[in-house]
Amino acid sequence: MTTGGTPALAGIKVIELARILAGPFAGQILADLGAEVIKVESPAGDDTRQWGPPWVDRADGNREASYYHACNRGKRGVIADFNDPADLAFVRALIADADVVIENYKLGTLARFGLDYETLSADNPGLVYCSITGFGQTGPYAPRPGYDYVIQGMSGMMSLTGEPDGAPMRFGLSISDMACGLYSTIAIQAALLARANTGRGQQIDMSLLDCSVGLLANQAMSYFVTGEVPPRMGNAHASVVPYQVYALADGHLIVATANDGQFLRLARLLGLDALADDPRLQDNAGRLAHRDEMNAALSAAMAVLTKAEMRERCEANNVPVGPINRLDEVFADLQVVARGMKVELSDGLASVRSPIIFSDASLALGRASPMHGEHDAEIRGAMGLPARA
């Protein structure tokens, strides 16, 4: 779903020297917002092109992993071997009038090719240069490679995820990479706004570990305030009850009562007037103190109801409730359909829309992920350069 108006970042030129997920995800968001994003790949291509199955078969006969298409929509693609002087000159020429560079090379790698911020900004002082690494540009871990799974463990996320008596669990998504991509997009836009005021670009230092620690939010505050390490809670909430998954006669539902009134309505719609009237349960602190006793009664009352019955009762009484959808159910959901979250691209593939709706700007959707080097000859030709040998 898009509205009228020019895309918000129309006229912004982004050179993406990034691969895998965090950097390309940031590049894809900027492309959706209307920026011209040129993805520079090595002759071997982005590693995620080979992260299959499942595979996407192209019209030109090439095959790529669906993973690659999850974070490269809307870009144009060129090929460059940094060890080739002509290719290196081509990349430097691309960056000479660029607004943004996104890179996620290991610390010091691009400096060997004169593609570091200090070198590039000397010729392009307005350049916003976003460096994405596992651990940032400083600190004892800065030279280390960073991988999403490792970062999820190091950041504390996995210690908070999983059943209380089970093993720590990773998210079902590469949340550390994606969070870093989102934070990077925010930082890039802020730096462009600062440039409008100062005329100067700057380097942005983004770390997967920093971004993941930054997501700890209320759990970190709980630790800071109490000095106690929060335990894994499974599907329960550490600070709010009842706020978890419950088993019903034909499956599971999430019931999420966030205030006292919602709890009282929940208890009464289940016929549990004794809970609603219990003086110990009139506020959240009391419900936390008596979580197990209260949940035993709630669970028993819900176990004899179907999901449809429970949803009908909750929705009629303004008690937050929701299903646990599979992906086929997500993209058939009336609200998801109404909001246009699934988009069709120029190559016939579907993709997930960036979840942004402006009142007076549109998203630049529709362009498929580039084939390896798809726009290389076109872009070099426009710059007066011969096609790559």
**160 close to 145: Cβ distance less than 8 angstroms:** no
Nearest to 188 by CA among 201, 207, 175, 174: 201
Could you write out the DSSP letters of every residue in 116-149? SHHHHHHH-TT-EEEEEESS-SSSTTTTS---HH
Nearest to 39 by CA among 50, 48, 28: 28
| Residue 77 parent element (H or E) | strand 76-79
* Distance (Å, whole) CA 386 – CA 262: 68
Count Cα atoms within 13 angstroms, Cβ side, for 302.
Answer: 28
* Distance (Å, whole) CA 288 – CA 60: 60
In the numeric block, the tokens 């779903």 are attached to 1
177 is catalytic: yes
How is residue 227 written in tokens? 């000095």
Catalytic residue among 46, 177, 210, 376: 177
**103 close to 115: Cβ distance less than 8 angstroms:** yes
Nearest to 352 by CA among 8, 69, 148: 69
**370 close to 9: Cβ distance less than 8 angstroms:** no
User: Using the 8-state DSSP alphabet, how is residue 354 labeled?
Assistant: P
Length, in residues, of the chain: 389
Q: What are phi and psi of 268, to 5 degrees?
A: -70, -35
Q: What are phi and psi of 13, to 5 degrees?
A: -105, 125
173: exposed, middle or buried (Cβ count in 10 Å: 0-12, 13-18, 19+): exposed
**155 close to 216: Cβ distance less than 8 angstroms:** yes
**66 close to 26: Cβ distance less than 8 angstroms:** no
* Distance (Å, whole) CA 227 – CA 219: 11
Q: Which residues are identified as catalytic? A: 177
